Structure 1
Amino acid sequence: MFYIKFDSDLNILREYNAKAILEHGCCFELSYIFEQELLEVIQKRKKYTDEILFSRPVCFKDELTFEKLNLNQYLYLINNFASRKLIQNLAQLELLRLNGEKKSIHEVLKFYHELAPEYLKLFNPDIVSLGEKKIYPFSYLCINHMVEFIVKLTVDDEKILLAGYREQGRKRYMVVGGDFIDREYDTLIPYLIKNDIENLNIESIQLKKPDINLMGDTYFGEKYTERRKKRNVEDALTKYGYSYSFLDIAPFFRKDDFNIVNFEAVFNIRDFSPLDGRKDFILGAHSGETRKELKNNHIDVVCLANNHALDYGENSFISTLHDFMEDDFVVLGGGYDQYQANKILELEYRGKKIAIFNGYWNKVNAYIDYDFYALNERAGINILNGVMLYQIKLYKKLNPDHTILCFCHWGIDFKSVHPYQERVAKRLLQVGADVIVGHGPHTIQKIEKYQEKFIIYSVGNGIFNSNGEYEKQKALPYGFLTRINILNKELQLYPIFTNNLKTFWKPRFVTEDEFIQLKTIYKEDSFITDKDELGFFFKLQL
Structure 2
Amino acid sequence: MIARDRLRKAILLLVVLLLPAWTVSASASGEWLAFSGENDPAELLFPVQEYTGTVRITFLGDCTLGGEEKTRNAARGFNRVIEQNGMEYPFRNLTALTAGDDLTVANLEGVLSDRDLSKVKKTYNFKGATAYTEILKAGSVECVTLANNHSHDYDTAGYLDTKAALDAAGIAYFGTDCTAVWKNEDGLMIGFLGVSGSLSGNRAKDYAKRADFLHAAGCAAVITVMHAGTEYASEPDGYQQQIVNRALDCGTDLIIGHHPHVVQGWEERNGVPVVYSLGNCVFGGNTNPKDYDALAVQAELFFREGELEEITLRFYPLSVSGEPGRNDYSPVLLEGADAERVLKKMEESTGVSPGRFDPDAGAVVSVSVKH
TM-score scaled by structure 2?
0.73
Deviation at 1:255, TM superposition (A): 5.8
Instruction: Answer 1 or 2: which has greater helix percent.
Output: 1
Deviation at 1:525, TM superposition (A): 6.1
Equivalent position of 1:449 in the other structure: 268
Which range moves more in the overlay, 492-501 or 454-463? 492-501
Aligned counterpart for 2:92 among listed residues 238, 243, 247:
247
Deviation at 1:395, TM superposition (A): 4.2
Equivalent position of 1:220 in the other structure: 65
Q: How has the CA–CA distance of structure 1 residues 460 and 314 changed in structure 2, closer, same or farther, with 3 Å as cutoff?
A: same
Equivalences for residues 185-204 of structure 1 within 5 A: 196-197=14-15
Query: How many residue pairs get matched?
Result: 317
Equivalent position of 1:148 in the other structure: none
Q: How has the CA–CA distance of structure 1 residues 398 and 223 changed in structure 2, closer, same or farther, with 3 Å as cutoff?
A: closer
Equivalences for residues 46-125 of structure 1 within 5 A: none
Deviation string 1:48-67 (CA, Å, 9 cap, x unpaired) is xxxxxxxxxxxxxxxxxxxx
* 2:314 pairs with 1:489: no
Q: Gapped runs of 5+ residues in structure 2?
A: 1-9, 31-53, 303-309
Deviation at 1:220, TM superposition (A): 2.7
Equivalent position of 1:355 in the other structure: 191
Aligned counterpart for 1:515 among listed residues 320, 339, 350:
339
What is the CA–CA distance in structure 1 between the aligned matches of 2:72 and 2:16, rounded to whole Å? 49
What is the CA–CA distance in structure 2 between the aligned matches of 1:528 and 1:362, rounded to whole Å? 29
Q: Gapped runs of 5+ residues in structure 1?
A: 1-15, 18-191, 335-340, 368-382
* 2:329 pairs with 1:505: yes
What is the CA–CA distance in structure 2 between the aligned matches of 1:352 and 1:234, rounded to whole Å? 42
Q: How has the CA–CA distance of structure 1 residues 455 and 469 changed in structure 2, closer, same or farther, with 3 Å as cutoff?
A: farther
Q: How has the CA–CA distance of structure 1 residues 537 and 350 changed in structure 2, closer, same or farther, with 3 Å as cutoff?
A: farther
8 A contact 1:390–1:431 mirrored in 2: no
What is the CA–CA distance in structure 2 between the aligned matches of 1:314 and 1:470, rounded to whole Å? 28
* 2:282 pairs with 1:463: yes
Deviation at 1:517, TM superposition (A): 2.0
What is the CA–CA distance in structure 2 between the aligned matches of 1:210 and 1:266, rounded to whole Å? 30
Q: How has the CA–CA distance of structure 1 residues 214 and 266 changed in structure 2, closer, same or farther, with 3 Å as cutoff?
A: same
SS at match of 1:244: coil
Identity among equivalent positions (%) equals 19
Q: CA RMSD in A?
A: 3.5
Could you tell me which amino acid in structure 2 is paired with residue 279 of structure 1?
A: K
Equivalences for residues 18-417 of structure 1 within 5 A: 196-197=14-15, 207=29, 210-223=55-68, 226-227=70-71, 233=76, 236-237=81-82, 239-254=84-99, 257-275=102-120, 278-288=121-131, 290-333=132-175, 341-348=177-184, 350=186, 352-362=188-198, 385-393=204-212, 395-396=214-215, 402-415=220-233, 416-417=235-236
8 A contact 2:287–2:326 mirrored in 1: no
TM-score scaled by structure 1?
0.51
8 A contact 2:180–2:192 mirrored in 1: yes
Equivalent position of 1:431 in the other structure: 250
Deviation at 1:503, TM superposition (A): 5.5
Deviation at 1:463, TM superposition (A): 0.8
8 A contact 2:114–2:130 mirrored in 1: no
Could you tell me which amino acid in structure 1 is paired with residue 156 of structure 2?
A: E
What is the CA–CA distance in structure 2 between the aligned matches of 1:514 and 1:508, rounded to whole Å? 11
Q: How has the CA–CA distance of structure 1 residues 228 and 346 changed in structure 2, closer, same or farther, with 3 Å as cutoff?
A: closer
Q: How has the CA–CA distance of structure 1 residues 212 and 268 changed in structure 2, closer, same or farther, with 3 Å as cutoff?
A: same
What is the CA–CA distance in structure 1 between the aligned matches of 2:317 and 2:86, rounded to whole Å? 25
Deviation at 1:397, TM superposition (A): 6.7
